[in-house]
Amino acid sequence: MMRYIGRFLPAVCLLLAGFTVQGQQKEEIKARTFLRLLNGERFAQASAMTSAAFRQQADTAALKKAWEGLETHFGAYERLGSSSVLRRDSLTAVLINTLFKKNRVEIQVAFDRSGKVVGFHTLKVASRETVQAESDSAGGFRQVPDSLVFSDGTLKGTLMLPKDSMPVPVALIIAGSGPTDRNGNNENGLHTDTYKLLAEGLAAKGVATLRYDKRYVGQSSHFDLQVPPRFEAYVTDAIAWIQQLGKDPRFSKVILIGHSEGALIGTIAAQEPGVAAFISIAGAGRPLDDILRTQLEQAKVLQPDFPLEDAGRILDSLKQGRAVRDVPVALQDLFAPGVQPFLISDFRYDPAVQLKRVAVPVLLINGTHDIQVPASEAQLLSQADPQATLRLIEGMNHVLKDAPADRAQNIATYGRADLPLSAGLLPSITAFLQQHHILP
């Protein structure tokens, strides 16, 4: 038996990436949940998912020992990758590719017919030494670990420093929704390295960056899971990073860059002192509940049996601040009990109203081939703040790569970390920073 280091996150999938989680088979979801419980040191809850025969051989102490052994051998967990399901007779096995500090490990979680875990172990182990060396020396820029300590946990991040003499401007990169980590990847199949590439591109222009794992994600996982996450906590985290970066003598000015859900977080945080400029990338122009209604209507077109009426009922209740117990199986990932407090808190904020309160220079960026947040959303924000600079980048999609307008081909780029950022992105940011005298 071995243990995984997955992190619980409020996988709300705000601005959903093609309903990735809903597309998983139920065994995959159970396997990921099992590993998240182990990673969160909730061994008793993980044990409750196992069969009676399994528990006779391995109690909670054995699960704890197995997990500790996994970390000892393979280093700190980074993220979950793709998964697949194999079936044979009465058993079902889920294979999950898992990245650790030292190795890429394929972990198998086996289930019996009743859906109980009957075993888990490693199958394949691949070295990470070459990948790590390339990551550490990418572009020749120095990467420095950074952290932000709270009473209930610690946020972990990475500073990337340009070769220019200090002080230099620094940009805080705020990630999008769900389990997306500091590099722009997540355990549900998203592997773009978007934020890492953005950091490297900005370093080449003389701008330092701080990108971080949100609470409950990646190395920032050890927060109190008994307290349901709320949107305001993510705003508070961003403000705390702003304050910490503002006190650092290496940095001249602090810029906020928010992507997708991170754009709304950044819009609210940019209203605080200490911010020189705000850049919204693929940010919604309407409240989240409106966005979700649109996306769920699209889901109904793709899946005629999708329970759209039930989804509307749930959204109405959450908008009024009331949690919902009766959630259809098809909607349980999106409206899970642990996610609902986050949605209720997020639904209170209208991005257009919040943007009007931002006093610093604003750049609004959207791709014309973004199938999650269309360019019309950026235009709504531009109407709310006519002084903001609007840049629509031809052919850019939601993960900031050039992509066809065709949905299937567009989503295929969500797993292509080898693709560069869209050619128009960095020049648009650089020109904006020069216009406002943040860069020479």
Q: Look up residue 167 and give its DSSP letter.
A: P
Per CATH, is 138-287+349-435 categorized as 2.60.120.200?
no
Bond from prior residue into 167 cis (ω within 30 degrees of 0):
yes
| Alpha carbon distance 359, 374 (integer Å) | 25
pLDDT computed for residue 82 by the predictor: 67
Angle at the Cα of 394 (from 392 to 400), degrees rounded to 5? 80
Determine contact, residues 184/175, Cβ cutoff 8 Å. Answer: yes
Sequence spans of domains, the chain: 21-127, 138-287+349-435, 288-346
How does pLDDT run along the chain (440 residues), one tens digit per residue?
Answer: 333 223 223 333 333 333 233 334 678 888 888 888 888 788 899 999 998 888 888 888 888 888 888 888 888 777 777 667 777 667 788 878 777 778 878 788 888 888 899 888 776 676 654 444 334 545 678 888 888 888 788 899 999 989 877 789 999 999 998 889 999 998 778 899 999 999 999 999 999 999 999 988 888 877 776 677 789 999 999 999 999 999 998 899 999 999 999 999 999 999 999 999 999 999 999 999 998 998 898 888 878 888 999 999 999 999 999 999 989 888 888 898 888 999 999 999 999 999 999 999 999 999 999 999 999 999 999 999 999 999 999 999 999 999 999 999 999 999 999 999 999 999 999 999 999 999 99
pLDDT computed for residue 301 by the predictor: 85
Q: Which residue type does 216 have?
A: Y
- The residues, ordered by sequence, that sit 6+ positions from 166 with a Cβ below 8 Å of its Cβ are 249, 250, 251
pLDDT computed for residue 138 by the predictor: 55
pLDDT computed for residue 225 by the predictor: 65
pLDDT computed for residue 58 by the predictor: 81
Q: Look up residue 390 and give its DSSP letter.
A: E
- The residues, ordered by sequence, that sit 6+ positions from 305 with a Cβ below 8 Å of its Cβ are none
pLDDT computed for residue 249 by the predictor: 86
pLDDT computed for residue 364 by the predictor: 98
Which listed CATH number (3.10.450.590, 1.10.1040.50, 3.40.50.720, 3.40.640.10) goes with 21-127?
3.10.450.590
Compute CA distances 101 → 60, 72, 128, whole Å: 25, 11, 7
Pick from 149, 146, 142: which is nearest to 157 by CA?
A: 146
| Alpha carbon distance 115, 85 (integer Å) | 13
pLDDT computed for residue 174 by the predictor: 98
Determine contact, residues 236/195, Cβ cutoff 8 Å. Answer: no
Per CATH, 21-127 and 138-287+349-435 having the same topology is answered: no
Determine contact, residues 120/57, Cβ cutoff 8 Å. Answer: no
Torsion of CA 7, 9, 14, 20, to 10 degrees: 40
Kind of pairing, strands 208-212 and 362-367?
unpaired
pLDDT computed for residue 32 by the predictor: 84
pLDDT computed for residue 17 by the predictor: 33
Q: Report DSSP letters for 199-267, one per residue.
A: HHHHHHTT-EEEEEPPTTSGGG--S-TTS---HHHHHHHHHHHHHHHHT-TTEEEEEEEEETHHHHHHH
β strands within 77-141, DSSP E = 77-88, 91-100, 103-111, 117-127
Cα four-point dihedral sign 424, 425, 426, 430: positive
